[in-house]
Amino acid sequence: MNMIVRLRPRQYAYRHSATLSAIFLFALLPGSSLANAGSPEGYWYGKGYQPYLRKTMQWLTNNRSDGSYSVEFREYSKCLLAFAQVEEGRWTLSGDILTKRVLIINRQSVPDTPYYTNTYRILEIDGLKMRILHEPTGQDWTSERVTKDFIFPDCANVS
């Protein structure tokens, strides 16, 4: 004998309301979608030590869906902008390996050499946070997903 169980709408709603609420809330975040929740695509903000620049910096990255990216690095000293650099290039993802090839720094083309290609292992990624490891240096960084209208925090709120 086959038994058909009908779930009443109220039962279903109570059982799954937390999950559904989380999905709907995430879908409503500006600049995010369910499709890119676990993807490096989008806008990411972080701060931390940059070994190549030998400075503690803030950065804002835009990884575009067409494989291009731009990142702006900033350093403040005594609440004055002491250093800024903008890089543009291409990014690819293969499994958990994120590769970035720098093509332009501060509007100047750079040579096509391995020095300007960096690979990172994605240690953690979700709709709100991405943590990557640059294995050659052992340096890892954490960035948070932000919207396209994100503005760098003023220096008083960075340290």
For 43, counting Cβ atoms within 10 Å of its Cβ (0-12 exposed, 13-18 middle, 19+ buried), the class is buried
Tell me if 30 is assigned to some domain: no
User: Pairing relation of β-strands 117-125 and 42-50?
Assistant: unpaired
Tell me if 147 is assigned to some domain: yes
Direct distance between the N- and C-terminal alpha carbons of the chain, in angstroms, rounded to an integer: 68
Tell me if 107 is assigned to some domain: yes
List the CATH number of the domain containing 109.
2.40.128.280
**Mean pLDDT of the 129-155 span:** 91
The model's pTM: 0.73
Tell me the pLDDT tens digit for each residue of 91-136: 999 999 999 999 999 999 999 999 999 999 999 999 899 999 998 8
How many domains does the chain contain in total?
Answer: 1
Query: Do 68 and 90 touch, CB atoms closer than 8 A?
Result: yes
Domain of 115 in residue numbering reads as: 42-157
